Structure 1
Amino acid sequence: MDMNTLLSFNWSAMLPEFIVLGTATLLSLLDLFMGAKKDRRILGWIGLAGISAALISLLSLFGPDEVTILYDTFVLDPFAKAFKTIFLLGSAIVFLLAISYDPKDKIERGEFYYLLLTALLGAMIMSSSRDLITLFVGLELLSLSSYILAGIRKKQLKSNEAALKYLVNGGISTALTLFGMSYLYGITGTTNLIEMQPQLNQINDPSIYYVLGISFLMIFVGLSFKIATVPFHMWAPDVYEGSPTPVTAFLSVVSKAAGFVLILRLFLWVFATIPVNSISESMLVSMQGFVAIVAAITMVVGNTIAIRQKNVKRMLAYSSIAHAGYLLVALSSFSTLFYLDTIWFYLVTYVFMNLGAFAVLQLVMKETGSEDLTAFAGLAKRSPFIAISLTVFLLSLAGIPGTAGFIGKLSIFMSTLTSSTPQIVLAAIMIATTVISYIYYFGILTQVYFRTSEEVKKIHLKKPVILVLIVCIAGTILLGLFPTIALDFFYSTF
């Protein structure tokens, strides 16, 4: 590639990525030259400013136009814009949590902040990738950063265990995903998703269909590790428990959303174009039953095992697994009325309600030194504001009317009924498991309002956490009462 060709690209399409990359580089240099005893929280504020600038630059690029550069390997299309908004918004909230995180955990180091930025950069690259190679590069950038963040508390055994389990399971999932991708390359002779489509449309050899089916299953299983669906979920509770709370929050929201972005990119752009059985049915639709079974098992296992948890971090881990099942329900519906917008809206609501819950958990852990369910006893008397905030988030996670979580679950439920083949059984399982989730969500609220604690000390609130709680409460309630705010924003990008 000569200099003229390099300069001919419309690099403004990558402006948000350049800002995040530049901020991460700046933080690494500042951390290198700062004294050992200097407070690194200033790096967190600089990182937050970089994320805000990236979000503003992304909003300035909104519009119906699609921009492709680097020989169609990087695309700034409505899909990328919509999901990058989730990544940047979620990461900004996580940074506020990281800035206010308790320094007793010995992670007051600069790499804690710029590794979050590199993980964010990987997720953003994935959302704009239109090539298997760039998809994989983004996935690995996100994964490698996450492995280090999970084990950043080097002197704590649980953190070491979290990093090791995450690394091993992540390596297995990466190998399976890459193996599945290799079949696509072997059949089509290209790594570009757009160039694959005309070749896959012309396939009529049953043996090739068999290989493509294996490719689909291997990619789906590999990515199921990333989004923590059953039975590929066993790493999630231990990793969530052992990681620092801001890292756990990042993994539960941004990393999970990135996993679904990768699934949507590959499945909608590749497998949805492969005709099987008849011209009107694609390979993606033919795998509907398989995806539905995984979704059903994930919802049942995630919600039922969460009931047995006494550690709230592990409880939220199994809750996250259950919510991955809800999202798979939307994915398996292939509804003409509800599909991409349903998944996007649910991920937006999940940002607010789940990160808000982790913010409260971080506050309680700081004051009590415990993640146990009993640490929330008497919270309503110690801090009414925190208790009310937690109530809003848990009610939304449970899907109670008036909250964003209810609208998200309702949209998914409607998608199962409006698909070409209504999935009544899957809809019934979703309702039943949602009711089961009330047991452990309301169990926390029982501790908050109806149990007493010997600890009467009020919980001290720092300004970054107050801002997180206000933003998350506002998002959870507003999207519950006026969901068209988010949906109109989504539709305006397409």
Structure 2
Amino acid sequence: MNDVWQSDWSLMTPEWIVLAVAVVLLLIDVAMPDERSRRPLAWGAALGAVLALGATAALIPAEPASILHGTFRLDSFAKAFKLLLLAGGALALLIVAGWNPKEGSRYGGEFAYLLLFALLGAMMTASSGDLLTLFVSVELLTVSSYILAGLRKTVAASNEAALKYVINGGIATAVMLFGMSYVFGLTGTTNLNEIARRLQETNEPYMLALAFLLLLIGVSFKLAAVPFHMWAPDVYEGAPVPATAFFAVVSKTAGFVLLLRLLVTMFAAAPAEGRDPSSLLLSMQPAIAVLAGLTMIIGSVVALRQRSLKRLLAYSSIAHAGYLLAGFAAMSWAMIDSLWIYLLAYLLMNMGAFAIVSHIVDETGSDDWDGLTGLYRHRPLLAAALGLFLLSLAGIPGTAGFIAKLHLFIGLVVTEPGHYVLAAVMAITTVISYVYYFNLIVQLFFRPLFSSAPLGRMSAGLSAAVVLCALGTLALGWAPGLAYNVLAQFDHFGDFLP
């Protein structure tokens, strides 16, 4: 017990900030009169996320350390991905601050602090060094997300989204926990570093492979990877737009953090049957590659038939999960660097697109792509910003999306042996994605006005989110060295593995 109280709690400063702000906002929301607007609470939550982001940046020079008997780790991996999670959370909260649904901002207070609790779970996932804390962190994220999806209690689609999310999330949790139980049974410990050491000595390769597959399936549900993706389009469409943006960016980033923490940390040195290849993780590359290929193909092809902006972005998100899984399947020496850059680009272009979609849905009452028709005629800057985000999602040169896809593609072809089939699938599905992204661009710039009533002015929160994302998308596209300079602080995540 003395070791616990003598721990260096300053390592958890970002988490303490997010937790404190969430609790304070909850108490303020309870004490506020019902007729008062909750919009200031969203601004306060965004400020809290920015403060936590600053605290995380201040911890970058700190030496890798762990506290609470190794259950909380502050290594380069945790610091790098917390930067992404907090930036995504802050942008999502700016969208909440500008959110203006038909029933008013009745649930604005709950949105602010529930999103912070979900963000806290994602941050703890990045720093977890133990199966127990990893599981609890993921559940804090997912349970908060269930509530966010169904927060508009008077809207049937929101209730349906929450129900589907709970059912599929429960299945994912059960499968993942089943895999964790096998790992614990084989090793007798829940500490990730100790598990990695003991798995090198195990003589149960088939049981170990079963545990790996169960964990991979559980995480695939969280990532909405094919064939475990069917919940995502309905949840994204029915949930409030700020929640959808959070699920598409922050939750997906947390899913890949979970994937890396679980599978790479524990199984990178675990033996496979026959010890050729020497690692269980390497022996599972074909299975991960098939999962990535299916996810890219199904996400891109089904998106061609979508007219709902939120469903289209949902299938786009599935396709992007496939690209990221392809980068993971390559397992190149710069795998984590490539995934980090891609997730950064994905954060910027997706959050910007959802901020504009939120404005269109609030103004028109519909997320049909007809709401984009002729937008350039009366809101040229808004149309130009959305066009930029769509070009980046498509991976057009000069945008963040191009730099991100280039990194993943290079990782696929420079490894030995090269993953040329997966690289070809990535290239083909990227070309397919041009169809639906450019269809939206045609709607924006080359179609007559759908409605004579122009959209109203964007709120300060949405405007701030769009401007920040647009500048970030252009900066990463034209000056990728800025991102490389950040990555250089983490020395290629040399302290990630035990």
Q: Report the TM-score when normalising by structure 1.
A: 0.97
Alignment of 1:66 onto 2:64: yes
Could you list the per-position Cα deviations for residues 52-94 of structure 1 after superposition, in whole angstroms to 9, with x for gaps in the alignment?
1111111111126112100011011100000000010001001
Structure 2 contact 102–362 (Cα < 8 Å) conserved: no
Cα-Cα RMSD: 1.1
Could you list the per-position Cα deviations for residues 28-66 of structure 1 after superposition, in whole angstroms to 9, with x for gaps in the alignment?
110111111111111111111111111111111112611
CA drift of 1:107 comes to 4.8
Q: Provide structure 2 residue ranges, at least 5 long, that are not aligned to the other structure.
A: 492-498
Structure 2 contact 277–283 (Cα < 8 Å) conserved: no
Moved more, 11-20 or 482-491: 482-491
**Code of the aligned partner of 1:30:** I
**Code of the aligned partner of 1:399:** G
Say which SS state the counterpart of residue 418 (structure 2) adopts. coil
Residue of structure 1 in register with 2:18 after alignment: 20
Residue of structure 2 in register with 1:307 after alignment: 304
Matches within 5 A, 1:382-393: 382-393=378-389
Q: Provide structure 1 residue ranges, at least 5 long, that are not aligned to the other structure.
A: none
Mapped partners of 1:29, 1:454: distance in 2: 43
Alignment of 1:198 onto 2:197: yes
**Code of the aligned partner of 2:327:** A
Over the matched positions of the two proteins, sequence identity in percent amounts to 49
**Code of the aligned partner of 2:139:** E
Q: Residue 493 of structure 1: which of 486, 490, 493 is its match?
A: 490
Mapped partners of 1:133, 1:377: distance in 2: 50
Residue of structure 2 in register with 1:334 after alignment: 331
Residue of structure 2 in register with 1:472 after alignment: 469
Size of the aligned set, in residue pairs, is: 488
Mapped partners of 1:287, 1:62: distance in 2: 33
Distance 1:88 1:428, change over 3 A: same
Mapped partners of 1:172, 1:318: distance in 2: 21
Structure 1 contact 382–459 (Cα < 8 Å) conserved: no
Q: Residue 298 of structure 1: which of 295, 300, 324 is its match?
A: 295
Matches within 5 A, 1:29-428: 29-63=27-61, 65-109=63-107, 110-203=109-202, 205=203, 208-276=204-272, 277-278=274-275, 281-336=278-333, 338-428=334-424
Distance 1:458 1:36, change over 3 A: closer
CA drift of 1:223 comes to 0.7
**Code of the aligned partner of 2:490:** T
Mapped partners of 1:156, 1:454: distance in 2: 25
Structure 2 contact 332–411 (Cα < 8 Å) conserved: yes
CA drift of 1:279 comes to 7.2
CA drift of 1:167 comes to 0.1
Residue of structure 2 in register with 1:11 after alignment: 9
Alignment of 1:434 onto 2:430: yes
Mapped partners of 1:467, 1:230: distance in 2: 34
Say which SS state the counterpart of residue 75 (structure 1) adopts. strand
Moved more, 84-93 or 414-423: 414-423
Q: Residue 484 of structure 1: which of 461, 481, 485 is its match?
A: 481
Structure 1 contact 106–153 (Cα < 8 Å) conserved: no
Could you list the per-position Cα deviations for residues 336-381 of structure 1 after superposition, in whole angstroms to 9, with x for gaps in the alignment?
2x31000000000011000001111111112221111111101001
Structure 1 contact 64–493 (Cα < 8 Å) conserved: no
Alignment of 1:463 onto 2:460: yes
Residue of structure 1 in register with 2:439 after alignment: 443
CA drift of 1:5 comes to 3.1
Structure 2 contact 412–420 (Cα < 8 Å) conserved: yes
Structure 1 contact 383–459 (Cα < 8 Å) conserved: no
**Code of the aligned partner of 1:55:** L
Mapped partners of 1:303, 1:6: distance in 2: 49
Say which SS state the counterpart of residue 489 (structure 2) adopts. helix
Distance 1:231 1:79, change over 3 A: same
Mapped partners of 1:371, 1:103: distance in 2: 13
CA drift of 1:456 comes to 4.1
Mapped partners of 1:351, 1:257: distance in 2: 9
Residue of structure 1 in register with 2:494 after alignment: none
**Code of the aligned partner of 1:26:** V
CA drift of 1:106 comes to 4.6
Moved more, 50-59 or 315-324: 50-59
Mapped partners of 1:168, 1:180: distance in 2: 19
Say which SS state the counterpart of residue 104 (structure 1) adopts. coil
CA drift of 1:448 comes to 0.7
**Code of the aligned partner of 2:20:** G
CA drift of 1:420 comes to 2.1
**Code of the aligned partner of 2:489:** S
Q: Report the TM-score when normalising by structure 2.
A: 0.96
